[in-house]
Structures are given as structure tokens and as C-alpha cells.
Amino acid sequence: MDQAASLLAQGQVVAFPTETVYGLGANALDSGAVEAIFKAKGRPQDNPLIVHLGEQSQADKYVQAIPPKARLLMERFWPGPLTLVLAKTGQVPPVVTAGLDTVALRVPDHPLALELLRQTGFPLAAPSANLSGRPSPTRAEHVLADLGGRIPAILDGGETGWGLESTVLDCTVEPFRLLRPGGVTLEDLRALVPVTFAASEGEDKEPPRSPGMKYQHYAPDATVFLLTGQGVRARIQEESEPYRRRGQKVGVMTWNERSHLYSGFTVLPMGSEGDLQTLANKLYHLLRQADHLGLDVLYIEGVPEADLGLAIMNRLRKAADYREIKT
């Protein structure tokens, strides 16, 4: 911990665990340090970063005003997997926000992240600690696989809890607008404040106001297809036939109870049917496992888009580069 804090104070980058995924952190108030994040990840400069705070009270330093409804959400969900987009002050360098007049803030709910923030005394800009476009890291070994040799240190906190990135909510419009679903669900938010959500709103049409709104994300090397609806098994059998005839290695991500339906496929079990929390927790590990197993093609069975399922399907669509087959 002392070494990590010292490196950050010197303007370097450090990977550290949060309750969502591992982040690649740098001093959010130091433009040069933040630029090192983009370089290490190969991340496009127009993709804004989330600023991590040690406690809720620090938010007032970096935003112009906090609407009462946003304050209510902070009190309910911070520390936790909720990021709020607010109008920024001049203290936040443009490189952090991709030149936008807004900044995305959250307080992580992980003891190591909070201790690191306490020791450094400054906020940390931190996207996920992976090469840009790759599945996000939920274990230190994932960070090492992507960024080993590119960054000076990884603070190993074991496996992360949620396994999916934070929910991102734009609080500069009324009603608030959900930019990226995550661990704090749309239903959780709407129980407290009005929130709108359109699955593809703003993507590729305007500068992204949040991470995860532009560019391919979460993708393994295999070609991924997402299947939804009835008759998924039969469609996978049909669609995969040409690949299997050519001798390509084909995998399926499915619930444990359905694994026996896919004889001849490499099966990546998602957990017990309907257990969305377990699936969220292991999702990126499964996508990385597809690479480890050398899969050429991966078919994924979709899940219902309610509660945590909305965030899971959001990530799966991006992993598949929107190759979705509706049966």
C-alpha cells in the first residue's frame, strides 16, 4: 500500500481493486499522470474517465453544484457502484473529462481503494485496468496479462465483488439519464428519483459523456454472437455448423443446467440458472477464458433485461460488437 501511494504521488499509474473491477489509477489533478493512463491502456483520448473520491464530502470541490436528487443518491449509494455525472469546476483537468464540461464521480466501496485514496490525499482518475477494448479485469492476474510491463505496480486485492463496472447516471439533465447500467440497477434508481434510459442513446453520435458509451468493449479474441429469445439451442447448432465443419473451435456460454445440451462444444458455464449476481461476478473471467481456451467463435445465451440483467446484456452486446441473433 505504501509503495502504491508513493508511486501515485510521483505521478505514476497504479492498478488497484474496487468493488466493481480493477482500476488503473493516477492523480486526477495531474494532467501528465492522467495521460499515462491513456498511454498504458491504448485508450482513445475522447473517452472520459471516472474520478474516484475517498468520501462524499470531497465531491463539492470538483463540481459546480449538486442537485438535491443527486445528493440523495450519494447518501443512499456511496460508497458503492454508482457514478454521477455533474458540471465540473476548473480544478478537474480537461484530459480527465475528454474536454467536456462535466465530470464523472464516485466513491468506491472497497477497503484497499479507500485506504489508497486516504493515503494519497488526492482523487484518482481510474478506468478499468485492461488494454482498451479487452474484457475488464476482475482479478490481479487479468491486469498482469494485459498491462504487465506497461505499468509499475498492481495492488492485489483478490477477486472483485460485483464484477461489472459502476452504473453511470447523468445528473445534468432532468429527469436524470442512465448512461451505463451497472450494479445499482435502473429499478434501484427509479425507487428514489425519475430516470430515463435508452439502450443506444448517444452512442457514436456525440462525444461520450461516460465511459462505455463508444468503441468496442469487453471483447475476447473470438468472434462473439449473442442469442436471445426462444429456440436458442437449435439456432446455435445451426449457426455454428459451418465453423465446426471447417475445424474451428466453437464455444457456448450457457447456464449450468443447460450445459448438457451442447455436446461437441466447449462449454463455459455461467452459474446456476437465473443467478445474475454470480454471472456478473464471473462474466469477464469467462470472456478471458475463451481466449485461454483458444476459441474461434463464442455463442452466448442472453438473459432477461431486468435488474442486474440490464447491465449484463449491455456488456454482452458490446462484447459481441452488436452481433445479436433474435430467435
Q: 192: domain CATH number?
A: 3.90.870.10
- Which 3 state secondary structure label does DSSP give 256? helix
In this predicted structure, which of 9-13, 68-72, 87-91, 201-205 has the lowest mean pLDDT?
Answer: 201-205
**Side-chain half-sphere of 209: how many Cα atoms within 13 Å?**
22
Q: Are 116 and 28 in contact (CB under 8 A)?
A: no
pLDDT value, residue 215: 52
**What average pLDDT is seen over the chain?**
94
Angle at which helices 276-292 and 140-147 pack, to 10 degrees?
40
The per-residue pLDDT for range 132-165, each reduced to its tens digit, is: 999 999 999 999 999 999 999 999 999 999 999 9
Do both 154 and 247 map to the same domain? no
Residue among 244, 228, 217 at smallest CA distance from 320: 217
Q: Are 236 and 312 in contact (CB under 8 A)?
A: no
Average pLDDT (269-286) is: 97
From the CB of residue 93, how many other CB atoms can be counted at a distance below 10 Å? 18
pLDDT at 124 over 80: yes
pLDDT at 198 over 90: no
pLDDT at 201 over 70: no
Do both 146 and 21 map to the same domain? yes
Which pLDDT band holds residue 42 (cuts at 50, 70, 90)? very high
User: Exposed/middle/buried for 263, CB within 10 Å: 0-12, 13-18, 19+?
Assistant: exposed
Domain end point (choices 178, 196, 214): 196
Asked if residue 318 is part of any domain, the answer here is: yes
Do both 232 and 103 map to the same domain? no
Q: Give me the CATH number covering residue 246.
A: 3.40.50.11030
**Side-chain half-sphere of 54: how many Cα atoms within 13 Å?**
12
Do both 298 and 183 map to the same domain? no
**84: β partners:** 105, 169
pLDDT at 208 over 70: no
Cα–Cα distance list, 256 to 173, 184, 210 (Å): 42, 26, 34
Which pLDDT band holds residue 321 (cuts at 50, 70, 90)? very high
Do both 175 and 231 map to the same domain? no
Asked if residue 210 is part of any domain, the answer here is: no
pLDDT value, residue 176: 98
Do both 174 and 243 map to the same domain? no
Q: Considering the entire predicted model, what is its pTM?
A: 0.94
pLDDT at 199 over 80: no
Rg over CA atoms, the chain = 20
Do both 247 and 118 map to the same domain? no
Asked if residue 215 is part of any domain, the answer here is: no
Average pLDDT (164-184) is: 97
Do both 71 and 155 map to the same domain? yes
Do both 33 and 73 map to the same domain? yes
- Which 3 state secondary structure label does DSSP give 182? coil
Helices and strands (DSSP H and E) totals, the chain: 11, 14
- Full strand arrangement of the beta sheet holding 82-87: 14-17, 22-27, 124-125, 50-52, 102-106, 82-87, 167-170, 176-180, 195-196
The per-residue pLDDT for range 16-33, each reduced to its tens digit, is: 999 999 999 999 999 999
The per-residue pLDDT for range 83-122, each reduced to its tens digit, is: 999 999 999 999 999 999 999 999 999 999 999 999 999 9
Asked if residue 68 is part of any domain, the answer here is: yes
Average pLDDT (206-210) is: 58
Domain that holds residue 192: 2-196
pLDDT value, residue 45: 87
Residue among 2, 121, 153 at smallest CA distance from 53: 121
The pLDDT > 70 percentage for the chain reads: 95
Do both 23 and 117 map to the same domain? yes
Do both 92 and 130 map to the same domain? yes
Asked if residue 248 is part of any domain, the answer here is: yes
The per-residue pLDDT for range 230-251, each reduced to its tens digit, is: 999 999 999 999 999 999 999 9
pLDDT value, residue 209: 62
Average pLDDT (48-74) is: 98
pLDDT at 203 over 60: no
Asked if residue 79 is part of any domain, the answer here is: yes
pLDDT at 202 over 50: no
Average pLDDT (23-44) is: 97
Asked if residue 182 is part of any domain, the answer here is: yes
Query: How many domains does the structure of the chain reveal?
Result: 2
pLDDT at 211 over 90: no
Do both 107 and 228 map to the same domain? no
